Structure 1
Amino acid sequence: MSLSTPRLLLSCAVLGATLLASGCGFHLRGTGVDSVELNQLNVTAHNRYGPTYQQVLQALEIDGVEVTPSAPYTLQLLAENQSSRAVSYTSSSTPAEYQLSSSLTFQIADRQDRALIGPETIDTQRTYVNDKDNIIGTTEEEDLLRREMRQDLTRQLLFRLSSLTESELSSRESRLDQQQGN
């Protein structure tokens, strides 16, 4: 057996693993979002100091969107809801697993506060094991999952915003003006 045969086998194995991974839909984590095409956007929320609002602002600014109150369109974060429910139980009837749910309702409005897009709701869920012997670890895991869910909601929101252009919003605004004129 020559020295090049193990290299050939290794190369084939790596190539095969790569093809399998790409064929099953595997991809590296990232935003997975095209850039937002809107130049300016105002952003409002009931809780302007909350982590979701802050994360959305940061993501928009990183994407090159100028967040300003004088923007022609406003992204309104209308409601954020979080819930938790037991999904399985132990033999002693204590929760073994919890399902966390988060949702974010938003809309895009014009300067006259007329909804051009939405209201739409995006949501995400995660499940974790309730370890009654490690309460601190379980609490930290829940906190970590909540942060990941907030990031997921932000990614979903940016994905939705990436499909919009200022000309599309402008044409929706013009249609509303025409409807009110009739």
Structure 2
Amino acid sequence: MGFVVAAILFAAGCGFQLRGSVEVPPEYNPIFVQSVGGSTVRSAIEDLLVGSKVRLTEDRGEAKLVLRILSEQRSSRVAAVDANGKTLAYELHYVVRFDALDASGQQRVPPQTLDLQRNFDNPDVEVLGKQLEEELIYEDFATDAADRILMRLRAVLV
């Protein structure tokens, strides 16, 4: 029992915070996230903010900060082929552009681009499983992008 308490105190002392514990100054709360319909990054940002002190609003007029997801793009390119020209691996890319404006429309975070990439093997077997795996990788990209966007917001605003 004493070990658990010591570990919790150590983690709290070093600045460790549980996921979902995002800090944004009160003067920028609530936040409105503007994006195109079906944005996976927006969904990931909303998931990361659950349980935090940051409030999201659906009313842009009420927002003290507008986080704009300017674009999200998925792409892939061939990374490796065999002697017969069959594709063995792809390089997957997920590019997200964003910025942030305060309530008066002044830019608080200039437009920034995140380019996430990962190699994806393409063996001949389990074609359906590979399609699902690719979708899961893109979902991971969206979560990673959301986490990085929130870290950059915090760095600029705090």
* 2:118 counterpart of 1:131: no
Are 1:44 and 1:74, in contact at CA under 8 Å, matched by a contact in 2? Answer: yes
Q: Which runs of 5+ in 1 are unaligned?
A: 1-29, 169-182
Match for residue 43 of structure 2?
A: 54
Match for residue 172 of structure 1?
A: none
Match for residue 86 of structure 1?
A: 78
Normalising to structure 2: TM-score of the pair? 0.76
Are 1:83 and 1:101, in contact at CA under 8 Å, matched by a contact in 2? Answer: yes
**RMSD in angstroms over aligned alpha carbons?**
2.1
Are 1:36 and 1:164, in contact at CA under 8 Å, matched by a contact in 2? Answer: no
Are 1:104 and 1:121, in contact at CA under 8 Å, matched by a contact in 2? Answer: yes
| Structural mapping, 1:8-87, within 5 Å | 35-39=22-26, 40=29, 41-47=31-37, 49-68=38-57, 69=59, 70-87=62-79
- Aligned-partner Cα distance in 2 for 1:97–1:116: 40
Normalising to structure 1: TM-score of the pair? 0.66
Secondary structure at 1:67's aligned position in 2?
A: coil
- Aligned-partner Cα distance in 1 for 2:135–2:65: 33
Q: Which runs of 5+ in 2 are unaligned?
A: 1-17
User: Deviation of residue 145 (structure 1)?
Assistant: 1.0
The residue type equivalent to 1:35 in the other structure is: V
Match for residue 176 of structure 1?
A: none
- Aligned-partner Cα distance in 2 for 1:121–1:95: 29
The residue type equivalent to 2:92 in the other structure is: L
Aligned length: 135
User: Deviation of residue 103 (structure 1)?
Assistant: 1.4
- Aligned-partner Cα distance in 2 for 1:112–1:144: 38
User: Deviation of residue 34 (structure 1)?
Assistant: 7.2
- Aligned-partner Cα distance in 2 for 1:43–1:150: 15
The residue type equivalent to 2:49 in the other structure is: L
Are 2:34 and 2:67, in contact at CA under 8 Å, matched by a contact in 1? Answer: yes
Runs of 4+ deviating beyond 3 Å: none
- Aligned-partner Cα distance in 1 for 2:79–2:41: 26
Are 1:61 and 1:67, in contact at CA under 8 Å, matched by a contact in 2? Answer: no
Match for residue 156 of structure 2?
A: 164
Are 1:37 and 1:164, in contact at CA under 8 Å, matched by a contact in 2? Answer: no
